[in-house]
Amino acid sequence: MWWPVAAGVAVLTVPLAVAVAERLWRRPGPREPGFWALARAVGGRCHVRWGREQSPVVRLALPGEAEGRIRAVAGIAGRARIEARAYLPRTAGITLRVHRPAARPLRWRTPNLVAWDGWAPPGASVEVTDGRRLEVLLEDGRLEGALEAGLVGDGGREVLVAGQVLRLAWDGAAGETAGDAAERLGSAQVAALRELVAVLADAPAADDPGPCAACAQDLDDDPWRCPGCGRPLHRGCRELLDGCANRLCAETADAPPGPRPD
């Protein structure tokens, strides 16, 4: 008779599994006031997207016709991660990932994104698709400070420059709700985005950037074609950005709400 044992195991483990799953990700609801407080603090607007699992998105204008968007995603160990993106009017000509504490290189993502030992902020790791382009960008002495601003605070901190997208991903504190983390971290993220946008806007244009909107490299044989806007991206680049790189496209990870679905 095995089934009484199986039933007993289920009675003991199912509630535990449910409790663990609930702890792992508290859904950020539209009633969390932190997103609205952040929107007021940074002069942006707060949008609530359709679907229960969606985080509100704070949108704001950045210098040089860049657009900023901030939302919460599920981070590690039940923490909220606050993601602030800037969609740039032109490509930075590079994919660059800086992470503190130092992290292992990402695999199976953007082609040629590899660890770089040329320069790194203290305690951080750097991966880049084009070291020579990064050296050109670093000739503007403000870039180091702007990257440092993108890594301030405790917890995991990542700065990603991916062609026309800039993304800061900062881990919230243990036990902090997504709205509280957004309110606490969002203003510093906006300040860092402003610095980075300004440096990249003044950088010399990349010569002859390739067609991938995320990394500005040539495409391979089997790119992903965005179902929203038709633009091609490397499949790994799509995965890295969790969607399209075109700020006008509904397939971006943090697209503002469209018309209500039928």
* 203 vs 249, beta carbon nearer Zn ion: 249
CB of 128 to Zn ion, least distance (A): 13
CB of 15 to Zn ion, least distance (A): 42
Stretch that binds Zn ion, among 62-70, 148-156, 192-200, 221-229 (CB under 5 A): 221-229
Measuring CA to CA, how many Å separate 13 from each of 9, 16, 21, 248?
6, 5, 12, 45
Rounded Cα distance between 210 and 221, Å, is 14
- Subset of residues 193 to 212 that bind Zn ion, contact rule: CB under 5 A: 212
**Is there binding between residue 237 and Zn ion (CB under 5 A)?**
yes
CB of 253 to Zn ion, least distance (A): 11
**Is there binding between residue 253 and Zn ion (CB under 5 A)?**
no
User: Among residues 74, 136, 198, 229, which is the contact residue for Zn ion, using CB under 5 A?
Assistant: 229
* 202 vs 218, beta carbon nearer Zn ion: 218
- 192 touches 130 (CB < 8 A): no
**Is there binding between residue 244 and Zn ion (CB under 5 A)?**
yes
User: Among residues 223, 228, 232, 256, which is the contact residue for Zn ion, using CB under 5 A?
Assistant: 228
CB of 1 to Zn ion, least distance (A): 57
User: Among residues 84, 96, 106, 214, which is the contact residue for Zn ion, using CB under 5 A?
Assistant: 214
Q: Percent helix, strand, coil in the chain (nearest 5)? A: 30, 20, 45
Residue 253: which of 10, 29, 74, 132 has the closest Cα? Answer: 74
**Is there binding between residue 159 and Zn ion (CB under 5 A)?**
no
Rounded Cα distance between 160 and 103, Å, is 13
Cα first-last separation, the chain = 50
* 71 vs 234, beta carbon nearer Zn ion: 234
Rounded Cα distance between 42 and 167, Å, is 17
**Is there binding between residue 162 and Zn ion (CB under 5 A)?**
no
Stretch that binds Zn ion, among 27-35, 68-76, 139-147, 213-221 (CB under 5 A): 213-221
CB of 149 to Zn ion, least distance (A): 26
**Is there binding between residue 161 and Zn ion (CB under 5 A)?**
no
Helix (H, G, I), strand (E, B) or coil at 209: coil
CB of 259 to Zn ion, least distance (A): 17
Residue 175: which of 55, 83, 77, 32 has the closest Cα? Answer: 77
**Is there binding between residue 164 and Zn ion (CB under 5 A)?**
no
Phi, psi of 221, rounded to the nearest 5 degrees: -70, -25
| DSSP structure string for 67-123 | EEEEEEEE-GGG-EEEEEEEE-SS--SSEEEEEES--PPP-SSSTT-EE--S---TT
Measuring CA to CA, how many Å separate 191 from each of 128, 146, 196?
23, 9, 9
Site of interaction with Zn ion (CB under 5 A) = 212, 214-215, 226, 228-229, 234, 237, 244, 246, 249, 251
